[in-house]
């Protein structure tokens, strides 16, 4: 995992444009699909 702290870090790592393109394609536009609940009790 590449840890980033800012937009600058994202761009320096070359990850910003691909990540934004992925958002634009709607690949991960519904993060709620990944939210799930379980009870600890």
Q: Please report, as ranges, the residues that interact with other proteins according to CB under 8 A.
A: 1, 3-11, 16, 19-20, 22-24, 28-40
Q: How far is the CB of 25 from other proteins (least distance, A)?
A: 10
Q: How far apart are CA 30 and CA 7, in angstroms?
A: 22
Whose CA is closest to 20, among 32, 28, 9, 31? Answer: 28
Q: Report in angstroms how near the CB of residue 35 gets to other proteins at its nearest.
A: 5
Nearest approach in angstroms of CB 6 to other proteins is 6
């Amino acid at each position: 995992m590449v840890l980033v702290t800012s937009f600058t870090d994202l761009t320096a790592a070359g990850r910003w444009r691909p990540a934004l393109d992925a958002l634009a394609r709607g690949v991960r536009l519904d993060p709620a699909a990944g939210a799930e609940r379980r009870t600890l009790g």
